[in-house]
């Protein structure tokens, strides 16, 4: 993609190095005429130490890796911009990038999984990171959030324990990128504060269909500060324009093998194709004086503020419109830090947040090899930098001047302190108390919001959650850990605890505990009103003799509404239509799978349908798509019979049959795809 010409793009342009021009040289600029043979005395002699090109090439290669992130190692990033809708937020914050209508602030966003190594699969059950660096004209603001609004622990001092628990076990480094093992669940049973987050992790939120289809949350309560110094508590939310959609657990495990880069590829291809992903930023605002009006503590990151209690206020939009030029230089070297705040935004006493204020800078120092990582192009602010920080590993700036200190007459008092009100000032919070290691009592309720989440789920969401608990705990080898988790679940919901216990060979809790009946509809993916076929992938199964006009009608109709239609056949190349037409094949069936598509269509053409009926890959493709709740369509009697042979119920929700030339058919198929999945149509087929 071409750059949008933001200040950040102009800055980055100075660092781009073209790989497709000039002569091959060493790092010293000396031209090289042979990079395939080491220097040696005689054709069969030993390699010589004086071969500087060979030594330099190998040395550089040996040093190519940097330590991967200790968490969130696996990720994908993109550039774009943020634009506020209007200036109305200036009542609460003086942050210019949030309050200047029409001001486009360049951003870099990195999405990630948490537990897996850098080379692990994208579609594992995990939290997703959603980290945004705003290159504002007042300095960088990093909103380092996740796709879930709460966290596992309340105090950051527990973070190493939690991460050690979820990472592969230390003796054999198994399992990779998976929470289904003893140490994680042992931590969970012993730390009931994890329960709310575990509900989110066992829900479909942990297996997003796409980074473009997931929410983001700042998680903590932050502060806004207005021009007059008044503070308001704020929670940040990102809502995806394409709706909040997830995969199916069975599907994710198969995708992990068929396309481990599934989410990364999806983001890359959408941006390359001009389908720029978009989110709306919303905020929940709580006046300072209302701090204690909730039945939970605003400083407790294991709690949400239900949207029904404090509605979301839309602020602006985030658009990602450019892929990085180089993964390592940009995405891998991107360094986020929760302490990167700009005037108008401040932190709170949330003990999880406070720990993060230390951890992120510390981790970048080891990961990026010294204190000058802010000079790496992706991390550089577009706001000017001027200070007396000097030297250090990888210093890229050539600082001029005969002094590096403040105060200094040699430098004439420069750089000058900002005394005109433009400097960052901390909110003058009153702090008083005795030094103590103690959690506030207001952090003591670990179950009510886990129950709230459970109560808010639709039937199919509840089924998926039960199935997830059963899967995860089914892999736990120690029975006392399984029992401990069920005991915790009994405080969340009796039916949930019983359903999980029954699946994992644990005695179900006998007595139902008293739990509340409140719910928050905004928590359910089933109530998400956003629907659409844009960028959805539709597989068209074909063989020689296919009705080419069916293929064309569906491709034009759904393609015209933004879907991506691909013809799949036994072999790559092309198939011949019933009328002799050439129908291009996008992929051979053996190189792909139903799990990589959102819907499947079988066009008419008796010979084509008969051939597909003989093809195990094609039949499996249809059966599996149906099992995963996807839209399935067929044109003509033969195609309908083929669907039925593959186990598809006709009629059923999300199953469309009929004449491709009829607008009712394409409209119904469009509607079925737009609904994302059809989990209600046949519970026997739904993996629950
Ligand atoms: Fe963290 C990375 C999000 C708690 C310590 N974290 C990291 C990233 C995200 C988050 C999205 C990846 C950024 C990127 O793409 O480079 N972390 C969160 C959220 C948390 C949270 C939403 C809770 C609300 N994190 C948290 C705690 C600690 C850390 C409590 C330590 C006390 N996180 C780190 C880290 C990482 C990191 C070790 C690893 C790599 C990095 O920072 O740059 O410093």
Predicted pLDDT at 656: 98
Residues 154, 443 contacting (CB under 8 angstroms): yes
Residue of the CA atom closest to atom 12 of ligand 1: 72
C-alpha closest to that of 650 among 627, 662, 672, 632? 632
What is the per-residue pLDDT across 247-282, written as a single tens digit (0 to 9) for each? Answer: 999 999 999 999 999 999 999 999 999 999 999 999
Mutate to test the pocket of ligand 1, among 359, 362, 376 (most ligand atoms within 8 A of CB): 359
CA of 360 to the centre of ligand 1 (A): 7
- pLDDT, position 131: 99
Neighbours of 102 (CB within 10 A): 9
pLDDT at 609: 98
The reply to whether ligand 1 has any atom less than 6 angstroms from the CB of 351 is no
Label residue 41 exposed, middle or buried (CB < 10 Å: 0-12, 13-18, 19+): exposed
Among 605, 588, 603, 626, which residue's Cα sits nearest to residue 555?
603
- Nearest atom, ligand 1, residue 130 CA: 11
As a whole number of angstroms, the distance between CA 597 and CA 332 comes to: 29
Phi/psi of residue 568, each to 5°? Answer: -115, 140
* Cα of 235 from ligand 1 centre, angstroms: 17
Cβ contact 547:578 at 8 Å? yes
Using the mean position of ligand 1's atoms as its centre, give its distance from the Cα of residue 75 in Å: 13
Residue 686 has pLDDT above 50, yes or no: no
Does residue 243 come out as left (phi exceeding 0), alpha (psi in the -120 to 50 range) or beta?
left
User: Relative to the CA of 219, which ligand 1 atom is closest?
Assistant: 24
Q: Is residue 295 part of a domain?
A: yes
Q: How far is the CA of 144 from the centre of ligand 1 (A)?
A: 7
For the cut 50, the answer to whether the pLDDT of residue 532 exceeds it is: yes
Ligand 1 near 109 CB (within 6 A): no
Residues 139 and 115 in one domain: yes
Domain boundary among 327, 349, 375: 375
Q: For residue 684, is pLDDT > 70?
A: no
Look at residue 573 and give its three-state secondary structure. Answer: strand
216, 339: one domain: yes
Q: Identify the CATH number of the domain in which residue 368 sits.
A: 2.40.180.10
Distance CA 388, CA 275 (A): 44
Question: Is 413 within a domain?
Answer: no
Determine the distance separating the centroid of ligand 1 and the alpha carbon of 152, expressed in angstroms.
12
pLDDT classification of 680: cutoffs 50, 70, 90? confident
569 and 518 fall within a common domain = no
Is the minimum distance from the CB of 144 to ligand 1 under 6 angstroms? yes
Rounded to whole angstroms, the Cα distance separating 190 from 188 reads 5
The Cα–Cα gap between 660 and 642 comes to 16
Over range 11-17, report the average pLDDT: 94
The residue whose C-alpha atom lies closest to atom 15 belonging to ligand 1 is 110
**Has residue 420 been placed in a domain?**
no
Q: Which pLDDT does position 683 carry in this prediction?
A: 47
Is 16 a member of any domain? no
pLDDT in tens, 432-446: 999 999 999 999 999
Assess whether 145 and 262 both reside in one domain: yes
Confidence band for 4, pLDDT divided at 50, 70 and 90: low
The alpha carbon of 68 is separated from its chain's Cα centroid by a whole number of angstroms, namely: 18
Domain end, chosen from 329, 351, 375, is at 375
216 plus 75 within the same structural domain: yes
**Nearest partner of 605 among 654, 552, 556, judged by Cα:** 552
- Find all residues with CB under 8 Å of 592, minimum gap 6, and list them: 258, 539, 568
- Tokens found for residue 38: 């080491």
Q: Is the CB of 249 under 6 A from ligand 1?
A: no
**CA 72–ligand 1 middle distance (angstroms):** 7
Q: Helices in 87-181 by DSSP H: which ranges?
A: 96-99, 159-166
Write down the pLDDT at residue 681: 74
Q: Does the beta carbon of 216 sit less than 6 angstroms from any atom of ligand 1?
A: no
Band of residue 3 on the pLDDT scale cut at 50, 70, 90: very low
The ligand 1 atom at the shortest distance from the C-alpha of residue 153 is 30
228 in the same domain as 132 = yes
Active site residues: 72, 146
Residue whose pair of structure tokens reads 């966003």 in the numeric block:
109
- Ligand 1, residues 129, 303, 373: which to mutate, most atoms within 8 A of Cβ? 129
Q: Among 513, 518, 152, which residue's Cα sits nearest to residue 303?
A: 152
Q: What pLDDT does 43 receive?
A: 97
For 280-324, what is each residue's pLDDT tens digit?
A: 999 999 999 999 999 999 999 999 999 999 999 999 999 999 999
Q: What is the DSSP letter of 673?
A: H
Domain limits for position 560: 537-681
Q: How confident is the model at residue 5 (pLDDT cuts 50, 70, 90)?
A: confident
pTM above 0.95, yes or no: yes
Q: So what's the pLDDT on residue 527?
A: 87
Q: Are residues 567 and 662 in the same domain?
A: yes
Q: What percentage of the chain has pLDDT greater than the value 70? A: 98
| 456 touches ligand 1 (CB under 6 Å) | no
Together in a domain, 505 and 559? no
Average pLDDT over residues 13-34: 95
207 & 356 share domain? yes
What tens digit of pLDDT does each residue of 36-60 get?
999 999 999 999 999 999 999 999 9
pLDDT, tens digit (0-9, with 9 covering 90-100), for 639-679? 999 999 999 999 999 999 999 999 999 999 999 999 999 99
| Distance between CA atoms of residues 420 and 417, nearest Å | 9
Q: Residue 645 belongs to a domain with what CATH number?
A: 3.40.50.880
- Rounded CA separation 175/115 (Å): 10
Residue having the nearest C-alpha atom to atom 4 of ligand 1: 356
Grade residue 229 by pLDDT with cuts at 50, 70 and 90: very high
At residue 587, φ and ψ (nearest 5 deg) are -150, 150
pLDDT, tens digit, 9 for 90 and up, residues 192-201 = 999 999 999 9
CA of 71 to the centre of ligand 1 (A): 7
Tokens of 193: 């504060």
> In this structure, are 590 and 677 located in the same domain?
yes
Please state, rounded to an integer, the average pLDDT across all residues of the chain. 96
What's residue 423's pLDDT?
96
Whether 193 is in a domain gets the answer no
Which tokens go with 593?
A: 């799978």
The answer to whether position 421 is within a domain reads no
Residues 473 and 556 placed together within one structural domain of the fold: no
Kindly state whether residues 659 and 565 are assigned to the same domain. Answer: yes
pLDDT of residue 239: 98
Q: Percent of the chain, pLDDT > 90?
A: 97
Confidence tier at 2 by pLDDT (50, 70, 90): very low
CA nearest 558: which of 612, 593, 619, 600? 600
The answer to the question of residue 433 being in a domain is no
Q: How many CA atoms lie within 13 A of 461 on its CB side?
A: 22
Total domain count for the chain? Answer: 3
CATH number at residue 514: 1.20.1370.20
Q: Is the CB of 110 under 6 A from ligand 1?
A: yes
Classify the C-alpha dihedral 453-454-460-466 as positive or negative: positive
Determine, yes or no, domain membership for 282. yes
Q: Is the pLDDT of residue 1 over 60?
A: no
Q: Supply the pLDDT for residue 530.
A: 85
| Residues 65-100 pLDDT 10s | 999 999 999 999 999 999 999 999 999 999 999 999
Asked whether the beta carbons of 124 and 113 are under 8 A apart, the reply is: yes
Report the DSSP beta bridge partners of residue 145. 130
Residue ending a domain, choose from 522, 545, 570:
522
């Amino acid at each position: 993609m071409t750059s949008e010409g933001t200040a950040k793009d102009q800055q980055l342009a100075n660092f781009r190095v073209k790989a497709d021009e000039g002569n091959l040289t060493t790092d010293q600029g000396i031209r090289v005429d042979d990079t395939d043979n080491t220097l040696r005395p005689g054709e069969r002699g030993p390699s010589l130490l004086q071969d500087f090109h060979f030594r330099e090439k190998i040395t550089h290669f040996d040093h190519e890796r940097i330590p991967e992130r200790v968490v969130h190692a696996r990720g994908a990033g993109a550039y774009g911009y943020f634009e506020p809708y209007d200036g109305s937020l200036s009542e609460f914050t003086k942050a210019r990038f949030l309050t200047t209508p029409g001001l486009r602030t360049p951003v870099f966003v990195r999405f990630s999984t948490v537990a897996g190594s850098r080379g692990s699969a994208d579609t594992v059950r995990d939290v997703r990171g959603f980290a945004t660096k705003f290159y504002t004209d007042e300095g960088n603001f990093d909103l380092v959030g996740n796709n879930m609004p709460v966290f596992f622990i309340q105090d950051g001092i527990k973070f190493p324990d939690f991460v050690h628990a979820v990472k592969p076990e230390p003796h054999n480094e198994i399992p990779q990128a998976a929470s289904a093992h003893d140490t994680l669940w042992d931590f969970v049973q012993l730390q009931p504060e994890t329960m709310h987050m575990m509900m989110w992790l066992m829900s479909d939120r942990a297996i997003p269909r796409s980074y473009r289809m997931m929410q983001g949350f700042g998680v903590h309560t932050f502060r806004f500060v207005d021009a007059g110094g008044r503070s308001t508590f704020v929670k940040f939310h990102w809502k995806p324009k394409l709706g909040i959609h997830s995969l199916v657990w069975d599907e994710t495990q198969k995708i992990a093998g068929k396309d481990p880069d599934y989410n990364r590829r999806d983001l890359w291809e959408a941006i390359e194709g001009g389908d720029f992903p978009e989110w709306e930023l919303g905020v929940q605002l709580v006046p300072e004086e209302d701090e204690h009006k909730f039945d939970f503590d605003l400083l407790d990151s294991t709690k949400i503020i239900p949207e029904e209690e404090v509605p979301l206020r839309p602020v602006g939009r985030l658009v990602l419109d450019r892929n990085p030029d180089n993964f390592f230089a940009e995405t891998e070297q991107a360094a986020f830090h929760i302490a990167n705040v700009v005037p108008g935004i401040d932190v709170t006493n949330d003990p999880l947040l406070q720990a993060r204020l230390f951890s992120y800078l510390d981790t970048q120092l080891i990961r990026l090899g010294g204190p000058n990582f802010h000079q790496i192009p992706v991390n550089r602010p577009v706001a000017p930098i001027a200070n007396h920080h000097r030297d250090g590993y990888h210093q890229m700036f050539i600082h001029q001047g005969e002094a590096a200190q403040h105060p200094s007459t040699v430098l004439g008092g420069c750089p000058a302190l900002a005394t005109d009100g433009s400097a960052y000032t901390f909110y003058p919070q009153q702090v008083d108390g005795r030094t103590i290691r103690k959690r506030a009592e207001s952090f003591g309720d670990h179950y009510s919001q886990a129950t709230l989440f459970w109560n808010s789920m639709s039937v199919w969401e509840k089924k998926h959650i039960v199935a997830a608990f059963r899967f995860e705990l089914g892999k736990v080898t120690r029975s006392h850990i399984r029992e401990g988790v069920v005991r915790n679940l009994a405080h969340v919901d009796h039916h949930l605890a019983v359903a999980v216990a029954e699946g994992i060979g644990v005695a179900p809790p006998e007595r139902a505990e008293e739990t509340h009946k409140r719910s928050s509809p905004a928590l359910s993916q089933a109530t998400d009103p956003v629907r659409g076929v844009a960028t959805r992938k539709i597989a068209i199964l074909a063989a020689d003799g296919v009705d080419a006009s069916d293929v064309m009608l569906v491709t034009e109709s759904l393609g015209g509404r933004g879907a991506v239609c691909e013809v799949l056949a036994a072999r790559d190349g092309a198939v011949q239509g019933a009328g002799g037409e050439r129908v291009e094949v996008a992929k051979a069936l053996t190189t792909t799978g139903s799990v990589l598509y959102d819907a499947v269509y079988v066009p008419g053409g008796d010979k084509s349908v008969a051939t597909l009926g003989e093809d195990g890959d094609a039949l499996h493709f249809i059966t599996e798509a149906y099992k995963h709740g996807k839209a399935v369509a067929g044109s003509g009697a033969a195609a309908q019979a083929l669907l039925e042979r593959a186990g598809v119920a006709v009629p059923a929700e999300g199953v469309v049959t009929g004449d491709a030339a009829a607008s009712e058919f394409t409209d119904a198929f469009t509607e079925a795809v737009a609904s994302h999945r059809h989990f209600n149509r046949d519970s026997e087929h739904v993996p629950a």
